[in-house]
Structure 1
Amino acid sequence: MNVIHVNSGHTNTIYKSIVDNLFQSGVDQRVYKFVPYVHQDSIDYDDYVDIRQVYDKWNRYFFHIKHEKAQNDFMAYLEDKKPDIIHAHTLFSNGYLAYRAYQEKKIPYVVAVRGTDINIFFKYMLHLRKVGLTILLHASKIIFISPTLKKNLFDTYVPEGIRAQLEAKSTVIPNGIDEFYFDGVSVPKKRKEAGKLVVLTAAWIDKNKNQLTVCKALEHLRMTEGIDIDYRIIGGVQKEKTHQHLLKQLQSFDFVKIIPRMDKAELIQEIRAADISVMVSYQETFGLFYIESLLQNTPIIYTKNQGIDGFFEEGLVGYSADPHSELDIASKILKVLANYERLSSNTQEQTSQFTWSTVTASYKELYESVLTNATNQT
């Protein structure tokens, strides 16, 4: 099986893990990454990643100009590759190239729908909505990394007339978690009612990650419930000038401790020591931090209708919260405390679907079903 990944955003993170694990399962692959002509990158990519400089930087503001150049290069790139399947890792930017390859060369493709596709392209770029729906209609399979992304797309942007057709070929395959986090997992926790409540968020400090509203929720609990709180924010500030004011606001709360980014071993210890992991981003595609927390038996509070919402029954391992409401976040923290031991004991048994072995098997099965269907149609 020969797969070409179209991934203009490929870096040595989750995408590398997907490809590396598929290699281990016997899938032959290359990654097509298209970038501007003047492109500087400090990342040392694997030799299966083909970086192609195909457009001017100003072209990125004009979808069709940028992608016409990328398409011409991609067609030439495919001449000696002969892939069985193309895997586009975003709907618009990458899916458009896969769709055009299908038109010209009849190569079947699968396409992933990500948060940016829904929150930026579908929401604001009205002139491209028809393009997105066309790409979905001609895809062999449509991949969502969470049930919430799928629900948001279908409820808001998919017309009734094609909904059943797209639903039939849609599947949810989550991101995988590094096996490191599955080693040496802890035992279910018990909460001492009189002890200090340790709340943890591991994410860059920025407005989207919404640490400020969490601070206000915790301050509310201190004032109304008399709870002694230690709020630990791990990650630091990626863009200090942009978020300087936000950083000062967070530091104004005396129960907040801001901690720089740390390695995986240190982060596990922090998660294990926390009572609750809270991350209520305004927009969240997935959020590996939630799953990392569950593996350490730490209950979670996550964003309603974003990220991992939909993977777990409400109240099974934590609760979803409205990111715009400090009172809702506060109430969900109280719910966690009221059901603490049950939530903590439920956490680890819910995480097997996020192992790389499970995720890789799902991708390989998906590819095989596409190939079988393509063979039956010839």
Structure 2
Amino acid sequence: MKKYSICHICSYYETPIFCDLVANQKEFTNSRVFYYQYYGHSFFNGDAENVDRCPCYNYIDRFFFFVKQNKAIKNYKRIYVNYKFDLNFSHSLFTNGYVAYTIKKEWGTPYIVTIQNTDLNIFFKYIVFLRKLGVEILRNASSIIISSKSYEETLLKKYIPSKYHNEIQEKIHIVPYGIDNFYSSHKNVNRKEMDINIRILSVGRINRNKNQLLICKATKQLINQGYPIHVDIVGPCVQPYLLKKIQKYDFVSYFDYMSKEQLIEKYREATIFVLTSKTETFGLVYAEALSQGLPIIYTKGEGFDKQFPEGVVGFHTRLNTNDLVCAIKKVINSYNIIQNQCVHASIKYDWDRINSFYKEIYQDSLS
């Protein structure tokens, strides 16, 4: 089997989805990871032999795009001067994609680029002077990977000039992230029917973006309507003032950390999984929940929206209390039908399936 020589350009490598992707492609790739960050960064997940940790800019440089990126490019060229990669794989459009774009211009190495939440909701949305650059990075990419149809629609509708629509759209591949093999090898195929006492589970950092307070407000409204509901919230606290507000609700139990073994039991105990992030590239916890037969509620227009038709594994919600209440009721009213479809749907996030797409993308990008 041909092995592709790939450099993953990833300044966010501490996020497990990226190191999982690299680890699950060892069979058909020889990979190095250019993991660059500011001086003093902890470089979590950076101990593997194929990871090149590179502290190369000051913390304040983060606010000066070209200053920071030019330092990263200089170090990329220093580290890989004697390498000949088939492809660079940049794991974001602006921050990592600019490195790959520059290396292609100087060394001729083709590249793949991934669109992330921050690319759409920060760079394209607010940093207007970089929009033209973002389009140029996309036009020069061999392939463009987006994890959801909703993000593809947002990209093309809001930020790509109409004259480039066809050129860019024909390069786009919708490829989700894969779940940890622990969950895919422990799928819950014997889930019980819904209990009279409903348990809502939410997993994610406690911060404004993850929006757990909205879940609390919607649950309170449902309890007032006679629904017996308890909420379990799992995740490290980033903004303590929000946790204080959450813990004022007597129907909430909070857990700051759980191992995979503990968390899978929480998925199995729960009735519905709810995560109403304001912005979300993908949301791997939705896919984990599905692997345990757990119906889900997700944010309309964000990364998990349109992964499946509405009502197959759950429902989307707008970010207001009444809409979330309605979404939870929809799940409850069609619970047994939805529940029976969740585990089978989670096959979409098994790495064997996802890697079949990547093999085709790598081959197409080099042909």
Q: Post-superposition shift, 1:56?
A: 2.7
Opposite residue 333 of structure 1, the aligned amino acid is: I
Opposite residue 273 of structure 2, the aligned amino acid is: S
Alignment map for 1:190-269 (pairs within 5 Å) = 190-192=193-195, 195-224=196-225, 226-237=226-237, 239=238, 243-269=239-265
Which SS does the other structure have where 1:347 is aligned? helix
Task: Provide the rounded CA distance (Å) in 2 between the counterparts of 1:92 and 1:288.
Answer: 22
Task: Provide the rounded CA distance (Å) in 1 between the counterparts of 2:283 and 2:213.
Answer: 18
Alignment map for 1:269-348 (pairs within 5 Å) = 269-323=265-319, 325-348=320-343
Q: Aligned pair in 2 of structure 1 residues 43, 169: CA closer, same or farther (>3 Å)?
A: closer
Residue deviations 1:95-145 (CA, integer Å, cap 9, x gap): 111111111121111100100111111111011111111000000000111
Task: Provide the rounded CA distance (Å) in 1 between the counterparts of 2:231 and 2:142.
Answer: 46
Opposite residue 349 of structure 1, the aligned amino acid is: H
Which SS does the other structure have where 1:171 is aligned? strand
Alignment map for 1:63-82 (pairs within 5 Å) = 63-82=65-84
Task: Provide the rounded CA distance (Å) in 1 between the counterparts of 2:154 and 2:272.
Answer: 27
Which SS does the other structure have where 1:213 is aligned? helix
Q: Post-superposition shift, 1:321?
A: 0.3
Task: Provide the rounded CA distance (Å) in 1 between the counterparts of 2:169 and 2:197.
Answer: 47
Opposite residue 356 of structure 1, the aligned amino acid is: W
What residue is the counterpart of 1:376 in the other structure?
none
What residue is the counterpart of 2:121 in the other structure?
119
Gaps of 5+ in 2: none
How well do the aligned residues superpose, as a CA RMSD in angstroms? 1.5
Opposite residue 66 of structure 2, the aligned amino acid is: H
Percent identity among equivalent residues? Answer: 35
Q: Aligned pair in 2 of structure 1 residues 223, 231: CA closer, same or farther (>3 Å)?
A: same
Task: Provide the rounded CA distance (Å) in 2 between the counterparts of 1:11 and 1:248.
Answer: 28
Opposite residue 34 of structure 1, the aligned amino acid is: Y
Residue deviations 1:146-203 (CA, integer Å, cap 9, x gap): 22221211111111110111000000111101121123422243124xx211111111
What residue is the counterpart of 2:164 in the other structure?
162
Task: Provide the rounded CA distance (Å) in 1 between the counterparts of 2:91 and 2:212.
Answer: 29
Q: Aligned pair in 2 of structure 1 residues 203, 12: CA closer, same or farther (>3 Å)?
A: closer
CA contact (8 A) 2:191 2:268 kept: no
CA contact (8 A) 1:12 1:45 kept: no
Task: Provide the rounded CA distance (Å) in 2 between the counterparts of 1:289 and 1:42.
Answer: 20
CA contact (8 A) 2:216 2:249 kept: yes
What TM-score do the two structures reach when normalised by structure 2? 0.95
Q: Aligned pair in 2 of structure 1 residues 50, 150: CA closer, same or farther (>3 Å)?
A: same
Would you say 1:355 and 2:350 are equivalent positions?
yes
Q: Paired residues, what number? A: 363
- Of residues 94-103 and 245-254 in structure 1, the stretch that sits farther from structure 2 once superposed is 245-254
Q: Post-superposition shift, 1:236?
A: 4.0
Task: Provide the rounded CA distance (Å) in 2 between the counterparts of 1:183 and 1:39.
Answer: 34
Which SS does the other structure have where 2:24 is aligned? helix
Residue deviations 1:279-306 (CA, integer Å, cap 9, x gap): 1111111111111111111111111111
Q: Post-superposition shift, 1:29?
A: 1.2
What residue is the counterpart of 2:7 in the other structure?
4
CA contact (8 A) 1:275 1:298 kept: yes
Which SS does the other structure have where 2:31 is aligned? strand
Task: Provide the rounded CA distance (Å) in 2 between the counterparts of 1:315 and 1:15.
Answer: 30
Q: Post-superposition shift, 1:43?
A: 4.9
Task: Provide the rounded CA distance (Å) in 2 between the counterparts of 1:40 and 1:181.
Answer: 27
Task: Provide the rounded CA distance (Å) in 2 between the counterparts of 1:70 and 1:41.
Answer: 15
Residue deviations 1:19-42 (CA, integer Å, cap 9, x gap): 11111x231111112223444446
Alignment map for 1:102-117 (pairs within 5 Å) = 102-117=104-119
Q: Post-superposition shift, 1:341?
A: 0.5
Task: Provide the rounded CA distance (Å) in 2 between the counterparts of 1:39 and 1:275.
Answer: 39
Task: Provide the rounded CA distance (Å) in 1 between the counterparts of 2:294 and 2:41.
Answer: 41
Q: Post-superposition shift, 1:205?
A: 1.4
Would you say 1:21 and 2:17 are equivalent positions?
no
Which SS does the other structure have where 1:22 is aligned? coil
Q: Post-superposition shift, 1:57?
A: 2.5
Opposite residue 317 of structure 1, the aligned amino acid is: V
Opposite residue 310 of structure 1, the aligned amino acid is: K
Q: Post-superposition shift, 1:337?
A: 0.9
What TM-score do the two structures reach when normalised by structure 1? 0.92
CA contact (8 A) 1:84 1:371 kept: yes
Task: Provide the rounded CA distance (Å) in 2 between the counterparts of 1:2 and 1:13.
Answer: 22
Would you say 1:93 and 2:88 are equivalent positions?
no
CA contact (8 A) 2:13 2:45 kept: no
Task: Provide the rounded CA distance (Å) in 2 between the counterparts of 1:340 and 1:41.
Answer: 42
CA contact (8 A) 1:189 1:344 kept: no
Task: Provide the rounded CA distance (Å) in 2 between the counterparts of 1:40 and 1:269.
Answer: 31
Task: Provide the rounded CA distance (Å) in 2 between the counterparts of 1:56 and 1:260.
Answer: 31
Q: Which of 138, 143, 149 pairs up with 2:145?
A: 143
